[in-house]
Amino acid sequence: MVSFDIAKAKVETLTKAINDHNYYYYVLDDPKISDFDYDSLFQELLTLEAEFPELKAIDSPTQRVGGKPNSSFKQVTHKTPMLSLGNAFYEGDLEAFNKRVCGELDVKQVEYLAEPKFDGLAVTIRYEEGHLVLAATRGDGSVGEDVTHNIKTINSIPLKIDNSLSTGAIEVRGEVFMQKNDFFTLNKKQSEMNEKTFANPRNAAAGTLRQLDPAIAASRPLRFFAYSITFENNKSIKSQDEMYTLLKDLRLPTTSHAKKILGVEGMMNFYNEINALRPSLPFDIDGVVYKVNEIKYQDDLGFVSRAPRWAIAHKFPAEEAESEIINIEVQVGRTGSITPVARLKPVQVGGAIVTNATLHNEDELKRKDIHIGDYVTVRRAGDVVPEVVKVIKEKRPKDVRSYEMPENCPSCSHKLAKEEGEAVLRCTNGVLCPAQKKQGLMHFVSRKAMDIDGLGEKIIDQLLDEKLIQGFSDIYKLKKDQLVKLERFAEKSADNLIASISKSKRTTLPRLIYALGIRNVGEATALELALHFGDFEKLKSASVESFIEVRDIGPTVAISIYNYFKQESNINELRKLLECDINWPSIEANVKNKELEGLIFVLTGGLPTLKRDEAKQLILSSGGKVSGSVSKRTNYLVAGEDAGSKLEAAKSLDIKILSESDLLNMLKKDQN
């Protein structure tokens, strides 16, 4: 048993170390120690605090989780109102705003600080003598709810800050949000536990922040970005960008995308830049915000009603909109899945006209209580298929009609079935079902599969109607004289398609496995199968147990793969396909090279000699990781021709840019 004095010194050392590592991990995305070492430090602190309860401080890292649930949310009156922002949707709105600002300040040009507008919840956090004492939601702007118990569970928010900057209280304002990947993981977990799922990351963050039990909030991955700071002792701050410097000095997380700009031209450039980055950002944003940078100018401009006259939000096109369900139909997927689809009154969502939206499955249809004739909220986020989020029941007409799922496949009339434990109805008629055959062919020729340019849905329909193709191998037997007889084909387009088909014969093993359309096998699983077996013949003859040995493959997926290769029609088609001279470079199973161990790469643009999947395979087989988006944790961006927003994001984060040859040199491989 250690003495009190030794324990006290050790608690102080551990507290500082854990707070430092929280900052490195949650704010800088740059962990300095392993999770195991972090957990060891945390456990040591817990042990000392249990032995010496008097050493447990209110801002100890151990106080972020647990605690007693609040019986209710107390109301908090904001000392300074949390105001709303005026909105701009068009360049003309910005011109009017800028003209008014310049006119009232009697200047020709104004400097603004531009920043992304996070799609989360605004909160204010109060520190007294450096300690976090209160956190509240925006509420109606004047009165919010006390959510201190949940804010303390967010690891990126320090429980104690350096109070040498101010003799009085410090108030920090910012946005609580949930990252996209964390949201999908949470929803999957909620679904597995038969708990409520959330419509979008903002709703998930809001639902988490309003939990009475902080242990629930602690179990969910909330994040925070600060964007303003005020000092109760009226410490002078000259500009918005100075605020960001102060926030960073206090180790509070801030966006790396804030930028000083000039005038309307600067606003539009920033808007377009962030809009281009938007799909690759790990969190949702719904626009950008422009604030007059100089605080003196802000004071001169003042406020109107409940909004500052020195700031404006430039909103992106809405990603949710209201529409009416005209009809409900079902679609047959390539694996026989039956998906109900709402036919909608056309509506603009996320910058596109939407007429169809997925209803996912029969269980979702019933859970959301969707009827033909209902008014609904439709969401389209990024490239995601539009979906019906909820019914607007207060607008439900009296003549709505319920919808019952069919008993037979709409394509082949085969009896539909639902496997045990699944929510999806399926047609089990396989390639004998015309819809499954068509969807399978479309998947086979898609860009991430065999990448046959020119074989779109309408061309495949023609080829099927003319009985020129039935399976994958038939594509490689097509002749130019067959194509030129078809509508839409001329000499040149026929030549181009034949050339594209011929080019696709040279592929990679992961691409080929993915192209087959095996149920439950996506790109990542196809790559793992290729790396594990290295040889197509070994893959075809493997047992269920062998498939389970592959990383990230469980019994359900293993059985899907095994059954695919045991189906005689599939084996016959594969034999005919390989007779068409489909070939790929050899791949070594269970590669031991680890030159890139722990390094995270992002690929963008067209590389001179490598296909994207080939570059990805090289990185993974050497111990590296490949991410789809750029973040602070990215080590390298491999950029080719026409690199877009990911390249700009990498430059803004000072991430090292590699060419294909740079990557190959890292792997100690010759370009040839």
**Secondary structure, 3-state, 274-291:** HHHHHHHCCCCEEEEEEE
- What is the pLDDT at residue 280? 87
Q: How far apart are CA 463 and CA 510, in angstroms?
A: 27
Whole-angstrom CA distances from 625 to 91, 562, 619 are: 41, 28, 7
SS3 for 637? strand
**Region of residue 61 (left: phi > 0; alpha: psi -120 to 50; beta: else):** alpha
The whole domain housing 393 covers 320-404
216, part of any domain: yes
72, part of any domain: no
pLDDT band at 31, cuts 50/70/90?
A: low
Q: What are phi and psi of 291, to 5 degrees?
A: -125, 135
Across the chain, which distance is largest between two alpha carbons, in Å?
93
Q: How far apart are CA 330 and CA 405, in angstroms?
A: 8
Check pLDDT > 70 for residue 304: no
Check pLDDT > 90 for residue 269: yes
364, part of any domain: yes
- Residue 99: both structure tokens together: 């003209």
Q: How far apart are CA 522 and CA 190, in angstroms?
A: 23
| Percent of the chain whose predicted confidence (pLDDT) is above 70 | 92
> Do the beta carbons of residue 82 and residue 307 sit within 8 Å?
no
Same domain, yes or no, for 362 and 375? yes
Termini Cα distance of the chain = 65
Give mean pLDDT, residues 168-177.
Answer: 92
Helix or strand run (H / E) with residue 13? helix 4-22
Location of structure tokens 């597995």? 192
543, part of any domain: yes
Same domain, yes or no, for 341 and 257? no
CATH number reported for the structural domain that contains residue 567 in this entry? 1.10.150.20
101 versus 198: which is more confidently predicted?
101
Same domain, yes or no, for 297 and 175? yes
Q: What are phi and psi of 167, to 5 degrees?
A: -85, -15
Location of structure tokens 């680890």? 594
Q: At a CB cut-off of 8 Å and minimum separation 6, what does 509 contact?
A: 530, 534, 536, 584, 587
- What is the pLDDT at residue 293? 95
Location of structure tokens 């003598």? 129
597-649: per-residue pLDDT in tens? 778 898 888 887 777 777 887 787 777 888 777 877 889 999 988 777 788 88
CATH number reported for the structural domain that contains residue 639 in this entry? 3.40.50.10190
Q: How far apart are CA 83 and CA 94, in angstroms?
A: 20
Same domain, yes or no, for 497 and 553? no
Q: What are phi and psi of 55, to 5 degrees?
A: -90, -5
414, part of any domain: no
* Residue type, position 2, single letter: V
Same domain, yes or no, for 209 and 295? yes
Q: Does residue 485 have an active-site annotation?
A: no
- 358: which strand partners? 341, 387
Give mean pLDDT, residues 426-436.
Answer: 89
Give mean pLDDT, residues 236-251.
Answer: 91
Q: How far apart are CA 45 and CA 15, in angstroms?
A: 7
CATH number reported for the structural domain that contains residue 48 in this entry? 1.10.287.610
The residue among 283, 315, 347 that closes a domain is 315
Whole-angstrom CA distances from 118 to 73, 111, 630, 648 are: 24, 22, 18, 20
- Residue 16: both structure tokens together: 């500082």
Judged by average pLDDT, the poorest of 156-165, 400-409, 566-575 is 156-165
Judged by average pLDDT, the poorest of 196-205, 520-529, 612-621 is 612-621
Domains in the chain, number: 6
pLDDT band at 260, cuts 50/70/90?
A: very high
591, part of any domain: no
Same domain, yes or no, for 458 and 531? no
Same domain, yes or no, for 520 and 572? yes
- DSSP strand E in 272-419: where? 285-292, 303-304, 307-308, 311-315, 320-332, 337-349, 352-358, 375-379, 387-391, 416-418
- What is the pLDDT at residue 592? 46
CATH number reported for the structural domain that contains residue 339 in this entry? 2.40.50.140
The residue among 315, 344, 364 that closes a domain is 315
Judged by average pLDDT, the poorest of 130-139, 232-241, 337-346 is 232-241
> Do the beta carbons of residue 340 and residue 330 sit within 8 Å?
yes
> Do the beta carbons of residue 477 and residue 502 sit within 8 Å?
no
* Residue type, position 391, single letter: V
Q: How far apart are CA 246 and CA 37, in angstroms?
A: 31
Same domain, yes or no, for 267 and 123? yes
68, 117, 576, 616: the active-site residue: 117
Same domain, yes or no, for 373 and 268? no
CATH number reported for the structural domain that contains residue 93 in this entry? 3.30.470.30
The residue among 463, 478, 504 that closes a domain is 504
135, part of any domain: yes
- DSSP strand E in 103-221: where? 111-118, 121-128, 131-137, 143-145, 170-178
Whole-angstrom CA distances from 344 to 320, 329, 341, 493 are: 14, 11, 9, 35
Same domain, yes or no, for 263 and 356? no
Global pTM exceeds 0.75: no
Same domain, yes or no, for 359 and 261? no
Name the pairing type of β-strands 656-658 and 636-639. Answer: parallel
- What is the pLDDT at residue 590? 42
575-609 burial code (b ≥16 CB/10 A, e <16): eebeeeebebeebeeeeeeeebeeebbbbbbebee
- 131: which strand partners? 128, 160
- Residue 497: both structure tokens together: 């398609």
SS3 for 177? strand
277, part of any domain: yes
324-383: per-residue pLDDT in tens? 999 999 999 888 999 999 999 998 886 678 899 989 888 889 989 999 999 999 987 544
Write down the mean pLDDT value for the chain: 85
543-570: per-residue pLDDT in tens? 999 998 886 688 888 999 999 999 888 9
144 versus 241: which is more confidently predicted?
241
How many beta carbons lie within 10 A of that of residue 406, not counting itself?
14
Half-sphere exposure of 394 (CA within 13 A, CB side): 0
Give mean pLDDT, residues 288-314.
Answer: 87
Q: At a CB cut-off of 8 Å and minimum separation 6, what does 484 contact?
A: 490, 491, 494
Same domain, yes or no, for 200 and 139? yes
* Residue type, position 501, single letter: I
